[in-house]
Chains A and B, each alone.
Chain A
Amino acid sequence: MLDLLISTLTQGLIYALISFGVYITYSILDFPDLGVDGTFPLGAAVTAVLLVKGVNPWLTLPIAMSVGALAGLFTGFVHVKLGVRNLLAGIITMTALFSVNLQIAGSNLTVDRGTDTIFTSAPVMAVLGDMSLMGRKLVISFLLVLIIKLALDAYFKTKSGLLLRAVGDNPDLVTSLAQDRGLVKLLGLVISNALVALGGCVVVHEQRSFSATMGTGQLVYGLAAVIIGISLMNFYTASPLARGLRERKGLRFLASPAGTTSVILGSILYKLCVQMALSAGLPANMMKLVTAALFLLVLVCSGRKGEEIIHA
C-alpha cells in the first residue's frame, strides 16, 4: 500500500513537468497546444535511444528539452509565420511527430536493467545509495520538479516572463508596447514544449521503456492537472483560512500560492484519482477511459467547460 502511494506520488510529480508545459500554453498563452501528444513521446524516444547507446543519463535531460523546444518552435512557426489556427498548428505537429518518433526509436524500445538511469547514476548512488530505488525515484523527481518550479516562478517575474503573461491576457496590449506578439507566443511554445519533452524523458528513466503510443491523452492529463490545481487554488484563496493568513505578515506567502504550485498539486491529485480507480479493479486497458471520464468530471465540477478551447 505504501509502495503504491509512493509510486503514485512519484508519477504525479513526473507528470507535473508535462503539466507545467500545458499550464504555459493553455493557462498563460490561451493556446490549446495539441502538439503535446507528440512532444511528450518525442522527449521519451530521444531519451530511450540515448540511454540504450550509453549516453550519460543526466545529459539526456537537456537534450530532450532542446528537441522538445524545436518541436515547439515548429508549432509556433506554423501558427505565427504561416498563419495556421492554433488548434490546427498543434495537430500538424502532433501528427508529424508520430512518424518522427517511430523513426527515432521504433514502435517500442526497452532500456535494459544494466543501463544507468538518472535514478541509478553514480552521483545519485553516492548520496542516496542507502535508499530503495523507489525512494530515490521519489526524491529525484521531487527535486527536479522543485527546480523547474522555482525557475518558472522566477522567470514569470522577469520582463520577458511578464510579457509572456500579457500576450495571453491581452495580445493587443503587447502590440501597443511595440513588441511582436508572434515572437512572444513562439517563445512560450518553445518553453512549454521543452518542459513536456523533459517530462517524457523522465518517464523513460522511470519506466525504462518507450512506446510510440505513449503520447495519447497526455494533453488531457496536463489539462486536467492544471484545471484541478487552479480550481482548488481559487477555492482556497477565497476561503477564510487564506484570508486569515493574508492578515499575518510572516505567513502571507501561504495565502496566495504560485500557479506552478497549484499545477503540481493538481497533477498529484489527478494521478491519485486515476490510480484509485485502477486499484478498485478497473483493468489497465480502461486507463484512458478513466482519464477522460475524470477529466469530464473535473470540467463540470470546476465550472470551466473548456470554453477557452472551443473559441480559440
Chain B
Amino acid sequence: MLELRDVTKIYNPGTVTEQRLFQDFSLTVEEGQFVAIVGSNGSGKTSLLNIICGSIPIEGGDVLVDGKSIAKLKDFRRYANMGRVYQNPSAGTCPNLTMLENLSLADNKGKPFHLGRAVDRRRIDGYREQLRSLGLGLEEKLNVKMGALSGGQRQAVALLMATMTPLRFLILDEHTAALDPKTAEIIMVLTDKVVREKKLTAVMVTHNLRYAVEYGDRILMMNQGKVVLDRAGAEKQATSMDNILSMFNKISMECGS
C-alpha cells in the first residue's frame, strides 16, 4: 500500500515566485491497483510522481509504504522496489551503451555492482526471449547502441528494464506521450500485460483519457493540486468516457487553456 498523507508541496518557498501546489494532499493507493491520473498542465500530476519517487522534496506531510514512512529515504533507495518509465524515451536507457549492456545493467538491479563481468553470456538467451515477446524485432539488435533505435523501441526496452527485476511499484510518467499512436498502443498493451502478470501497483500519468478509462482500475482527475474526480471499481465502470471528457473540458476551461 502506497500512501501520501497531508503532503504540502511549495515551489520556490520564501521567494516572490513562491507557489503552493499541494496543501494537505492525501492519497492512498491499494496494493495491486492500477491508478490512472489525468489532468491539465500544472495540475500536479508529475509533481505527485516526483514526490512518490523522492525526486523533489516536500515541505510537509509524509509518504508511506505499508504504513512506514519513506519520506526521509533518498530517491535511489526508494527505487529498490520501484520502477519508473519517463515520457522521454531517451530517459530510461543509456544511449551510448548497447542494448545488451543496458539490459545487463537492469538485470543486476538489487545486486552489488562489483568487479564481476558486466554481461553474463548465459543470460543472453533469456534477454532474447523477453525481447521477442515485445514483438518489435528487437531480439536481433542486442549489440546495437540504444541511441540508434527509434523512440518506440527505446521505450519498449525502457519498460522491460524498469520491470526486469522483482518490484512492487511501477511509476509511469506520460510514458506514451512522445510516441506515435500505433507505437503508443503497443507500449500501453505491454504495460498492462506486465502490470497484471507481475501484480504490480502502478501509478500512471497520462493525457490520453481513453488509456485512463481502458487500463486504469481507478481514475483520478487532478486540477490545481487537488483531486477533482476519483472513481474506482463499479463506480468507475459506470463512468463513461463522455462523462470524464466533459469534466476534463470543464477544468481545462477554468484554467483558460
Q: CB within 8 Å of B: which residues of A? A: 155, 157-163, 165-166, 169-170, 172-181
Contact = CB atoms under 8 A, between A and B. Distances in A.
Contacts of B94: 165-166, 169-170, 173
A160 B101 CA distance: 12
B95 A170 contact: yes
Given A163-B113, A178-B110, A157 B95 contact: no
A162 B118 contact: yes
A164 to B, nearest CB: 9
A207 to B, nearest CB: 35
Given A162-B104, A162-B105, A176-B83, A181 B76 contact: yes
Contacts of A175: 75-76, 79
A160 B105 CA distance: 10
Nearest to B108: A159
Contacts of B79: 175-178
Interface string B79-121: 1100110100011111111000100111011101111111100
A229 B103 CA distance: 29
Contact of A177 (B86, B90, B109): B109
Contact of B84 (A158, A161, A176): A176
Given A176-B84, A178-B79, A181-B76, A159 B117 contact: yes
Nearest to A156: B118
Contacts of A165: 94, 96-97, 101
A158 B112 CA distance: 11
26 contacts: A155-B115, A159-B113, A159-B117, A159-B118, A161-B118, A162-B118, A165-B97, A165-B101, A166-B94, A166-B97, A166-B105, A169-B97, A170-B93, A170-B94, A172-B86, A173-B105, A175-B79, A176-B83, A176-B92, A177-B76, A177-B106, A177-B109, A178-B79, A178-B80, A179-B76, A179-B113
Contacts of B83: 176
A160 B83 CA distance: 21
B196 to A, nearest CB: 22
B162 interface: yes
B84 A163 contact: no
A169 to B, nearest CB: 4
Nearest to A183: B76
A180 B119 contact: no
B77 interface: yes
A157 B117 CA distance: 6
Nearest to A168: B96
A162 B76 contact: no
B37 to A, nearest CB: 20
A260 to B, nearest CB: 16
B118 A157 contact: yes
B114 A178 contact: no
Contacts of A172: 86, 91
Nearest to A167: B94
Contacts of A157: 117-119
A173 B108 contact: no
A181 B79 CA distance: 13
Contact of A169 (B80, B95, B110): B95
The 9 closest A-B pairs by CB, nearest first: A162-B118, A169-B94, A159-B113, A178-B79, A178-B80, A163-B113, A158-B115, A175-B76, A170-B94
B93 A173 contact: yes
Given A157-B118, A165-B97, 10 more contacts: A158-B117, A161-B118, A162-B97, A162-B101, A162-B104, A169-B96, A170-B91, A176-B84, A178-B77, A181-B76
Given A159-B113, A166-B105, A176 B162 contact: yes
A136 B192 CA distance: 66
Contacts of B101: 162, 165
A169 B118 CA distance: 16
A290 to B, nearest CB: 33
A161 B113 CA distance: 8
Contact of A158 (B92, B96, B97, B118): B118
B74 interface: yes
Nearest to A187: B113
A159 B120 CA distance: 10
